Amino acid sequence: MNKKGIFQGLIVGLIANLIGLLTAAIVLSKFSGRSDGIFTVLETAQSENFLGKLISLGAILNLLSFFYFIRKRQDSHAAGVLIVTILIALGTFLIKL
C-alpha cells in the first residue's frame, strides 16, 4: 500500500470527523431552544457525559469518505480513513470509561 495515500486518508478522516462533530454541535445548539454557541454545547456535552455520542455522530462522514475512496479504487486512502475511524471508536470507548 501507498504510505502517502494512507496519510492523506488519515487527514481526510480527521477533517471529516471534525466537520461532522461541529455539524452535530450546531444542530444540537439550534434545536436546544437556547442561543448556545458551539463551544458551549461541547462543554455541556463533556460535563453531561455525552461527548462520546457527539464524536460518534461526527464519524458518520468518515463512512461517506470511505465509500467514496473505495468507489474511486483508492484503497490506500480508504485504509487511512478506516484507521482514523477505528482510533475514534477506541477514543470514544475510553471517554465512556
pLDDT category at 84 given cuts 50, 70, 90 is: very high
Picking from 54, 64, 63, 69, the residue whose alpha carbon sits closest to that of residue 9 is 69
Residues with Cβ < 8 Å from 10, sequence gap 6 or more?
80, 81, 83, 84
The total number of structural domains in the chain stands at 1
pLDDT category at 34 given cuts 50, 70, 90 is: low
The predicted model scores a pTM of 0.82
Q: Residue 74 belongs to what domain range?
A: 3-96
Q: Looking at residue 7, what is its pLDDT?
A: 93
Could you give the angle at the alpha carbon of 37 between the alpha carbons of 61 and 49, nearest 5°? 65
Query: Which set of grid coordinates corresponds to residue 14?
Result: 480527521
